[in-house]
């Protein structure tokens, strides 16, 4: 069969006026290349012990730590808004923290009880559980510390037990966010060995050592334990992009079902590269600092919080993210519903 080459004339003005398709709202909607939908969003939630309590996080306007009775109610509302999943992060009492983060392995810990209660009440809502030790350690690091060094392999052994603990509680997706080498493969093998093969792994494959995590650390109360230390020996250097591709490729080879880029808005180039290079879905996390900056600027009257939040999330999706974790998920879902 012969091929026919179509030679288009040069695009010139006035025969071509690109503004024509922007003139009316319905036209802009008709030709939009990307759309944001509630089903694109995952809502990260901070949980705490107690009953009927909401504790506002000062550095994250509109965000609170909530007790499990309130979590169940809000989980129902999130699901009704079309949000497909929530991600849980615990506030662990100081007396339960330890150098090895033992609390992470107890089957009746806060996160496991939260998973069970939500699954029993809203079974159709997906639950993502963070696999990392920093909420549980008395030093605020994501791993075991010995003589000032983070021990990779010893940490991974504990992370495997933590992931199994969460999966047994009913978690749909375990999300190792620690950035230890080799942990995805070890967690996958551990889940298979325990007949938990249906549990997905969302790997924080490209998690940067960003300065944007401060409000999150306030929310889980880890900042004061971390002190002047940092996480640069295991989280990624902000200068590197090719290294992120290697990290993602390795995690996929080890069995990751989804991969995460974090932060999202400051690393759209990594989101775009990853979504183009890999067939595995790319998830992006609009982190606490990104959220807080928008809220703080809006509080000062410098911008429209709703408009900027929508724009920021649409940009993340345009870059190639299949799903976005954002603290604004419920507010955005309501706005999109209207």
Q: What residues are annotated to the active site?
A: 207, 262
325, 285 contact by CB (below 8 A): yes
Token pair of 259 as six digits: 């991969």
- The closest of 246, 216, 230, 214 to 141, measured between CA atoms, is 230
DSSP conformation class of 120: H
- The closest of 191, 172, 72, 160 to 129, measured between CA atoms, is 172
The SS3 assignment for 172 reads: coil
Give the pairing of strands 258-262 and 85-90: unpaired
Helices (H) and strands (E) in the chain, counts: 12, 12
Token pair of 245 as six digits: 């591709």
- The closest of 205, 337, 229, 223 to 284, measured between CA atoms, is 205
Q: At what angle do helices 242-254 and 268-277 cross, to 10 degrees?
A: 50
């Amino acid at each position: 069969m012969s091929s026919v080459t179509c030679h288009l004339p040069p695009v010139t003005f006035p025969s071509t006026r690109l503004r024509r398709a922007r003139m009316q709202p319905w036209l802009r909607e008709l030709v939009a290349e990307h759309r944001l939908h509630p089903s694109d969003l995952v809502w990260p939630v901070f949980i705490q012990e107690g009953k009927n309590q909401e504790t506002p996080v000062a550095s994250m306007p509109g965000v609170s730590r909530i007790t499990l009775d309130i979590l169940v109610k809000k989980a129902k509302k999130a699901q009704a808004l079309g949000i497909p999943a929530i991600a849980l992060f615990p506030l662990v009492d100081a007396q339960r923290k330890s150098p090895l983060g033992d609390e992470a392995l107890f089957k009746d810990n806060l996160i496991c009880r939260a998973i069970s209660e939500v699954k029993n009440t809203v079974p159709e809502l997906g639950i993502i559980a963070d696999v990392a030790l920093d909420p549980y350690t008395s030093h605020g690091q994501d791993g075991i510390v010995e003589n000032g060094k983070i021990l990779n392999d010893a940490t991974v052994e504990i992370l495997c037990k933590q992931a199994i603990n969460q999966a047994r509680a009913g978690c749909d997706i375990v999300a190792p966010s620690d950035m230890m080498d080799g942990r995805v493969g070890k967690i996958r093998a551990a889940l298979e060995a325990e007949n938990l093969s249906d549990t997905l792994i969302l790997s924080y494959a490209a998690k940067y050592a960003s300065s944007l995590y401060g409000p999150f650390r306030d929310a889980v109360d880890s900042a004061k334990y971390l002190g002047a230390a940092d996480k640069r020996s295991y989280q990624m250097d902000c200068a590197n992009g090719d290294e992120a591709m290697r990290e993602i490729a390795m995690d996929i080879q080890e069995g990751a079902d989804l991969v995460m880029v974090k932060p999202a808005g400051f690393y759209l180039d990594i989101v775009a590269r990853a979504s183009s290079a890999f067939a595995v879905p790319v998830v992006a996390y609009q982190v606490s600092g990104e959220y807080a900056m928008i809220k703080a600027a809006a509080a000062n009257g410098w911008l429209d919080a709703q408009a900027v939040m929508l724009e920021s999330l649409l940009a993340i999706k345009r870059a190639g993210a299949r799903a976005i974790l954002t603290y604004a998920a419920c507010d955005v879902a309501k706005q999109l519903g209207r």
